[in-house]
Amino acid sequence: MAQWSVVALAAFAAAGAHADASYPNKPVTIVVPFTAGGPTDRVARDLAESLRKPLGNNVTIVIDNADGAGSTIGMAKAARAKPDGYTLLLNHIGVATAPILYRKLSFDVMKDFEYLGIINDVPMTLIGKPTLAPNNYKELAAFINKEKDKVNLANAGIGSASHLCGLLLQSTLKVPMTPVPYKGAAPAIADLMGNQVDVLCDQTTNTTGQIEGKKVKAYAVTTSKRLTTPSLKDLPTLQEEGLKGFEVTIWHGLYAPKGTPADILKKVNDALKVALKDPEFIKKSEGLSAVVANDNRVTPEGHKAFVQAEIAKWTPVIKAAGTFAE
Ligand code: ASP
């Protein structure tokens, strides 16, 4: 209790009525707004394993893949769910990019959710289908410049991380490619491995295994520094390759529907902090180049302020990307 700030306590107190002290006494559902088997799903399933014990009663955690429309279908579902602690939402940067990219949403990310904390930061990788001719980033850039919209660029829907990365790539190279939207990165990478689409920019939580297995071609990472994960450390950054200022890191956060009782929110937040320190979760995360958040970022007010800052950061970037953002 001592480390709880007055602001955090006030935020939780304002959040809703008192809770059922026996929480959780039935399965808790985490809505994941992308397809099963993808990078956001990977984070959710790994976290769920480590969250069961600290949440209490070794509770069963069910992952509900409410996929589609760049995570906005799942976010809407979670926003409408009964605010009783038995429905949570785990989503990535889409919480910040959807309000910028969609003219109309049935929910308000600032008003319709309780913020529980940031989970991690995850780099992205630029990858290509196995038969794509280019063997390195320079060759890929030349290929894109030449083939332009003949190049198919997969993404997980408007407002998804892969969409954001893809539109930044197009606007930086000033070359339009043909976007191919999916409901998540799992089907996108499956089609990439099957040579159905050409290029994908996606989180390392999805691409590491496929890169290691040589099932895709890997060209670059989107972080400002190279990664240290042995299998990815030789990939250049896009900045190194001359894409000035190009940096995309994807973060994940945990949410509850607005009005979830304050004591349940505190229970989940406390459990989240414990789960993020679980050596098993840390080990799995490190293997996929994900950086687990420290306690400072696992606060409702810090998480909400961070999302607000991300919306402010990406709004001008996405607006400047102009027609590529259509
Ligand atoms: N990584 C995907 C994206 O592009 C979503 C997913 O997790 O499937 O946002």
* 277-289 confidence digits (pLDDT tens): 999 999 999 999 9
* 192-224 confidence digits (pLDDT tens): 999 999 999 999 999 999 999 999 999 999 999
Distance of CA 163 from the midpoint of ligand 1 (Å): 9
8 Å CB contact between 41 and 269: no
Please provide residue 222's backbone torsions phi and psi, each rounded to the nearest 5 degrees. -95, 0
Ligand 1, atom 2: nearest CA belongs to which residue? Answer: 185
Verify that 161 and 96 share a domain, yes or no: no
Residues 4, 7: Cα–Cα separation, whole Å: 8
The pLDDT of residue 323 is 61
The pLDDT of residue 302 is 97
Give domain status of residue 62, yes or no: yes
The answer, yes or no, to whether the previous bond of 24 is cis (omega within 30 of 0) is yes
Asked which of 168, 200, 221 is the last residue of a domain, the reply is: 221
Verify that 292 and 155 share a domain, yes or no: no
The pLDDT of residue 322 is 73
Verify that 90 and 35 share a domain, yes or no: yes
The pLDDT of residue 21 is 80
Q: Going residue by residue through the chain (326 aa), what tens digit of pLDDT does each one get? A: 334 444 444 444 444 445 578 999 999 999 999 999 999 999 999 999 999 999 998 999 999 999 999 999 999 999 999 999 999 999 999 999 999 999 999 999 999 999 999 999 999 999 999 999 999 999 999 999 999 999 999 999 999 999 999 999 999 999 999 999 999 999 999 999 999 999 999 999 999 999 999 999 999 999 999 999 999 999 999 999 999 999 999 999 999 999 999 999 999 999 999 999 999 999 999 999 999 999 999 999 999 999 999 999 999 989 888 766 55
Verify that 293 and 148 share a domain, yes or no: no
> Residue 251: which of 52, 97, 37, 87 has the closest Cα?
97
Verify that 191 and 201 share a domain, yes or no: yes
Domain ranges, residue 286: 18-122+250-321
Identify the bridge partners of residue 180 per DSSP, sorted by sequence position.
Answer: 154
Verify that 139 and 204 share a domain, yes or no: yes
Closest atom, ligand 1, to C-alpha of 155:
4
Residues 204, 42: Cα–Cα separation, whole Å: 10
Strands 87-91, 28-32: pairing is parallel
Verify that 50 and 118 share a domain, yes or no: yes
Asked which of 172, 201, 221 is the last residue of a domain, the reply is: 221
What Cα–Cα distance (Å) separates residue 105 from each residue in 156, 166, 255, 317?
Answer: 18, 22, 17, 20
Verify that 86 and 131 share a domain, yes or no: no
What Cα–Cα distance (Å) separates residue 174 from each residue in 161, 166, 221, 236, 241?
Answer: 19, 12, 19, 21, 15
Residues 255, 152: Cα–Cα separation, whole Å: 34
Ligand 1, atom 7: nearest CA belongs to which residue? Answer: 40
Give me the CATH number covering residue 96.
3.40.190.150
Tokens, residue 264: 């349940």
Return the residue matching tokens 């998480």. Answer: 303
Closest atom, ligand 1, to C-alpha of 186:
8
Verify that 109 and 128 share a domain, yes or no: no
Strands 113-128, 152-155: pairing is unpaired
Asked which of 205, 221, 237 is the last residue of a domain, the reply is: 221
Verify that 25 and 118 share a domain, yes or no: yes
Give the CB-side neighbour count of residue 295, counting CA atoms within 13 A. 9
Closest atom, ligand 1, to C-alpha of 94:
9
pTM, 2 dp: 0.92
The pLDDT of residue 57 is 87
Give me the CATH number covering residue 201.
3.40.190.10
The pLDDT of residue 19 is 53
Which residues have any ligand 1 atom within 6 Å of their CB?
A: 34-35, 38-40, 156, 160-162, 184-186, 202-203, 206
- Report how many domains make up the chain: 2
Give domain status of residue 7, yes or no: no
Give domain status of residue 243, yes or no: no
Give domain status of residue 26, yes or no: yes
Residues 189, 262: Cα–Cα separation, whole Å: 40
Verify that 29 and 62 share a domain, yes or no: yes
Verify that 136 and 86 share a domain, yes or no: no
| 32, 35, 40, 158: residue to mutate for ligand 1 pocket, most atoms within 8 A of CB | 40
